[in-house]
């Protein structure tokens, strides 16, 4: 009898064994699902292509630096294709010539199907983010110092550049003009073909101001030129300025820049900014590739952070996960894995995805109308877009 009792204490019962087997099986299934959710290692093709801003821009420079890191660490050859304007950067992505774009705020405009994207060839695009660069610079307006202009209100009657097919640049300039109570009707508009060309226009005396990133190459050239450079402020305590700015450019945030042409810790600049560049892809992009690329850029930050004054913006602590464009599920998988993706961020992201779904449905409705006249099409789309977003509880921003 004693031996039987000892035996029962030492050896588990048949019921206990079944329970242990069930627990082991359950844990195995969890581990298997995790391994299927994302690759165990960084897995990327031998060749990759991105579009970016044109040569000399900080967006192009950062893309090239990341490409050098990918080649050294993962034997990946990255081809960076420069684009003169928003359409030429996003068209290769839309057509599948590139898998990603180191783009600007035009990613937001394309998502909304507005401005250059409000036509039958474009419409709202299902774009997603992987990471963004949020550096110590501003997205701001510089004036040639020899003009003596010190505020946006003083730009009345001045020559202001307008870059063809580049709403990201033109709407941002319009937002800053609004800070000074001005519109395009209050200035002399001068058209240019690209970002670099308009800055050359300031240096050559063809225009008086230009909008751009304080750390990009052209502002440094203006600073070194006989004309010199002065960045116009958008004071953070000027409620009227910011109310007018955000009504046109809701993607701006208040920011103090400590890097840029003529800018440093002792001579900072008070205005606005937004992420730039934004590593953008389509919602249909392979999730494992997005996961791997996001992981590679984050884990090897030290390898490229000093390559360009704006590259510091790729640091984890400078990421903005609750911006106006949703993140790709592959990127979300990585950010969640390392513990920085929260339930609140996920809810925000899902709302942005839902907004894109509302826009996509409205676009299908718009195309079905068969309007051939371009002006009539744009007007009807803007009205329908606003109506459908309003009905779904979203702010159309532009009406």
Write the pLDDT tens digit of every residue in 32-43: 444 344 566 899
Contact 160, 189 (CB under 8 A): yes
Torsion angle defined by CA atoms of residues 15, 17, 23 and 25, in that order, rounded to the nearest 10 degrees: -120
Distance separating alpha carbons of residues 315 and 310, to the nearest angstrom = 11
1: Cβ contacts below 8 Å, ≥ 6 apart: none
Quick one: pLDDT at residue 13? 52
Range ranked top by mean pLDDT from 10-14, 57-61, 234-238: 234-238
What pLDDT score was predicted for residue 215? 87
At 6, the pLDDT band (50, 70, 90 cuts) reads: very low
User: Would you say residue 24 has pLDDT above 50?
Assistant: no
What would the two tokens of residue 15 be?
Answer: 């019921």
* Token pair belonging to 393: 């509880």
The gap from C-alpha 195 to its chain's centroid, in whole angstroms, comes to 17
Distances (CA, A) of 380 to 111, 248, 266, 386: 18, 20, 50, 10
At residue 38, the pLDDT reads 52
| Residue 13 Cα distances to 16, 20, 43, 158, angstroms | 5, 11, 46, 89
| pLDDT tops 50 at residue 275 | yes
> Residue 39 has what pLDDT?
60
Given this model, what pLDDT does residue 332 score? 98
Element holding 376 (H helix, E strand): helix 374-391
Give residue 21's pLDDT.
54
Across 144-153, 158-167, 219-228, 286-295, least confident range: 158-167
Question: What's the burial of 261, exposed, middle or buried (CB within 10 Å: 0-12/13-18/19+)?
Answer: buried
> Which are the contacts of 218, defined by CB distance < 8 A and separation ≥ 6?
56, 57, 195, 196, 199, 200, 210, 212
Is the bond preceding residue 89 a cis peptide, omega within 30 degrees? Answer: no
**What percent of the chain lies above the pLDDT cut of 90?**
81
- Label the pairing between strands 127-132 and 278-282: antiparallel
pLDDT in tens, 205-236: 999 999 998 988 899 999 999 999 999 999 99
Would you state the torsion angle of the CA atoms of residues 120, 121, 125, 130, taken in this order, to the nearest 10 degrees? -170
Q: Would you state the pLDDT for residue 19? A: 45
What average pLDDT does the structure give for the chain? 91
Q: Between residues 294 and 13, which one has the greater pLDDT?
A: 294
**How far is it, in rounded angstroms, from Cα 121 to Cα 123?**
7
Supply the pLDDT for residue 309.
79
Lowest mean pLDDT among 165-169, 242-246, 264-268, 293-297: 165-169
Provide the pLDDT for residue 161. 98
Q: State residue 26's pLDDT score.
A: 47
Which of 110, 109, 93 lies closest to 52 in space, CA to CA? 93
What local confidence, expressed as pLDDT, does residue 9 receive?
A: 45
Question: How far is Cα 379 from Cα 389, in angstroms, rounded to an integer?
Answer: 16
Please state, as a whole number, how many other Cβ atoms lie within 10 Å of the Cβ of residue 358. Answer: 17
Q: Which of 179, 180, 182, 202 is nearest to 192 (CA)?
A: 202
SS3 for 221?
Answer: helix
DSSP β-bridge partners for residue 256: 270
> pTM for the whole thing?
0.79
Place of tokens 């953008």: 280
């Amino acid at each position: 009898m004693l031996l039987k009792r000892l035996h029962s204490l030492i050896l588990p019962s048949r019921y206990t064994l079944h329970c242990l087997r069930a627990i082991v099986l359950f844990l195995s299934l969890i581990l298997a699902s995790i391994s299927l959710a994302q690759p165990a290692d960084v897995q990327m093709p031998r060749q990759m292509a991105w579009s970016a801003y044109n040569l000399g821009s900080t967006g192009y420079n950062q893309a090239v630096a990341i490409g050098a890191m990918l080649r050294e660490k993962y034997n990946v050859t990255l081809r960076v294709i420069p684009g003169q304007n928003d359409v030429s950067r996003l068209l290769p992505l839309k057509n599948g010539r590139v898998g990603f774009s180191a783009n600007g705020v035009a990613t937001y405009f394309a998502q909304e199907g507005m401005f250059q994207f409000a036509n039958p060839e474009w419409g709202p695009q299902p774009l997603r983010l992987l990471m963004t660069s949020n550096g110590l610079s501003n997205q701001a307006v510089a004036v040639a110092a020899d003009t003596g202009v010190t505020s946006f209100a003083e730009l009345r009657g001045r020559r202001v550049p307008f870059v063809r097919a580049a709403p990201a640049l033109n709407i941002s300039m319009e937002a800053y003009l609004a800070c000074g109570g001005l519109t395009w009707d209050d200035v002399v508009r001068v058209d240019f073909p690209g970002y670099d060309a308009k800055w050359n226009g300031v240096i050559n005396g063809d225009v008086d101001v230009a909008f751009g990133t304080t750390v990009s190459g052209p502002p440094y050239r203006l600073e070194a030129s006989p004309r010199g450079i002065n960045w116009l402020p958008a004071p953070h305590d000027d409620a009227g300025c910011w109310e007018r700015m955000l009504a046109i450019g809701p993607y701006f945030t208040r920011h103090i820049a400590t890097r840029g042409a003529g800018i440093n810790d002792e001579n900072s600049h008070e205005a606005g900014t937004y992420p730039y560049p934004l590593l953008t892809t389509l919602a249909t992009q392979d999730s494992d590739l997005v996961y791997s690329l996001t992981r590679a850029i984050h884990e090897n930050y030290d390898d490229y952070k000093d390559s360009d004054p704006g590259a510091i913006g790729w640091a984890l602590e400078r990421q903005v996960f609750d911006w106006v464009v949703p993140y790709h599920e592959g990127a979300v998988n990585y950010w969640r894995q390392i513990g920085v993706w929260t339930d609140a961020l996920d809810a925000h992201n899902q709302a942005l995805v839902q907004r894109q779904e509302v826009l996509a449905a409205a676009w299908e409705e718009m195309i079905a109308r068969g309007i051939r006249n371009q002006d009539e099409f744009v007007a009807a789309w803007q009205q329908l877009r606003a109506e459908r977003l309003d009905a779904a509880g979203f702010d159309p921003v532009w009406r």
